[in-house]
Structure 1
Amino acid sequence: MDVWQRLVHRLGGLPPTNWMMVGRWLLTSVNTHKIFGHQLQKITPYPNETMIGWVFHYLIGIVYVIAYTILWKNVGILTLTFLDGLIFGVVSVVVPWFFFMPAMGAGVMGCKTQRPVVGCLSALGVHSVFGVAIALLLQLSQQYN
């Protein structure tokens, strides 16, 4: 996911996710017990907010891998194929569109940003690639079990 974002940034100029702001949002949410409504640009930066944003990002990624594994092994609605990975990735984009974007002040599907369509398509692309990567890496791991 991160490699894909960096590649798209270099080739197309789309900025990657700002994990510093994610860290600031997380720390502010924990401190205020409030998820929505922060004006993150006006909040004094926290020490280590970038690192905290990156760690949170990877923890969320692990949750997605666990969810895919459960839907594959326990529920049986996913297989370890390119198509199922793509479907999982496309469906998973509802989380940033309808939770993280609004929570960070960008509105539902980034409607409060200057280029909401670009933000939504970027999230869709990144999540699609990540879903496919999960499926293919789990498939690869099965060859060694």
Structure 2
Amino acid sequence: MDWLTTGVLMGIGGTLAMDIWALLLRQLVGMPLPNWGNVGRWSVQATKGQVFNDDISAVAPVTGETSIGWAVHYGVGIIYGVLFLVIFGPDWLVNAAFLPIWIFSILTIAAGWFLLQPGMGLGWAASKTDTPWRARIMGLIAHTVFALGMWGVALLVAA
């Protein structure tokens, strides 16, 4: 399998792992699922030049926003999977060490903290939420799960 296809599959696997993690948290501790409609609404607004909003839920709904949000969610995961292999090279797949992919995945949270969250009105790194440190810790855990999902796919491909 070529490295580009592997990167795409890694991104899908990592994103799927995050989604399964979110479902587990909902079942085990009642944590609400991510609102992909708001992400879709924000994405449409961003393409129109309105990157930062005071409250994305106060912005007029967009047709298909939930589907758009899901597509953005998986699209970003795929980009990260491919980008990881661009940075570390396809040779990483030979040994597929966890540490590099984990560090990379933790660094990707910067896009959420410094673009998506303030863009939706949640503040830098969720600073305008009721429990910013909880949101940050849960984000770091989710990105660790993302790393585990990408790593698992890499190991399967290498096998």
Distance 1:42 1:87 in 2: 35
Match of 1:60 among 57, 76, 90: 76
% identical aligned pairs: 31
- Matching residue of 2:53: 37
The equivalences for 1:1-145 within 5 A come to 1-31=18-48, 33-73=49-89, 80-143=96-159
- Deviation string 1:24-48 (CA, Å, 9 cap, x unpaired) is 11112223x1211353222221111
Gaps of 5+ in 1: none
For the Cα contact (< 8 Å) 1:80–1:136, is it kept in 2?
Answer: no
Q: Which has the higher contact order (CA 8 A, sep 6+)?
A: 2
For these two proteins, the number of residue pairs brought into alignment is: 140
For the Cα contact (< 8 Å) 1:82–1:136, is it kept in 2?
Answer: no
Gaps of 5+ in 2: 1-17
